[in-house]
Amino acid sequence: MTTSVADIVRIGPVIPVLAFESAEQGEGVSRALHAGGVKVLEITLRTAAGLAAIERAARLAPDIVVGVGTLTSPRQCAMAKKAGARFGVSPGLTRDLHQAAQDEGLPLLPGVMTPSDILLALELGYEIVKFFPAQQAGGVPMLKALHGPFPGLKFCPTGGINVDNAPSFLALPNVVCVGGSWLTPQAAVAAQDWAQITRLAGAASALARATK
């Protein structure tokens, strides 16, 4: 089953960016997030457990949409799709990565930071991109500035987003959702405090977005 990026980013206002030390840890966190109403997960390949965690999370519930994050090479697209990923997220964009995602039928949310990055994304047909690293690249003022020359492009800012600044990003007309790791504090994950993660997920799911 293929779901478009346009559909995925509108499921909820926050896509948690996740990195797990084990598949078991990933399953516990994913269950807790889903219980709080978060149905879209980005499980990154920053750890060796990434693919196994994707495989487990993808089977947790029929309405969960698991994506693979930190895609940096074409070969990872096939591996992630086989594990059950429904979409991919990359920190940047190359033509080879784009083609590999296309070949695998893996909808891609590519990372951009500069106008030149955006021009490549537009040339390849993308209408929604990840703005990364969001805070370090200029944050809300930068996204406001990019809205002028690129009025039709939508963004999912990720990097430095937290519970305090997320509302200011979500209020922008060119932001459809945000990515962040604040839903899964390290202490809560280590203590297996699933109730806290579920509470944070519930609060994140209730964040308001501008009418797009």
- State the catalytic residue, choosing from 39, 81, 130, 154: 130
Q: Which of 71, 63, 85 is nearest to 2 (CA)?
A: 85
Name the active-site residue from 27, 39, 42, 55: 42
Judge whether 144 counts as a catalytic residue: no
CA dist 1 and 84 (Å) reads 10
Q: Is 104 a catalytic residue?
A: no
Q: Could you give the dihedral angle defined by the CA atoms of residues 132, 88, 49 and 15, in that order, rounded to the nearest 10 degrees? A: 60
- In sequence order, the β-bridge partners of residue 128 are 154
- For residue 100, count other CB atoms closer than 10 A to its CB: 21
d(CA 118, CA 18): 25
Q: Distance between CA atoms of 212 and 173, rounded to whole angstroms?
A: 6
| Residues recognised as catalytic | 42, 130
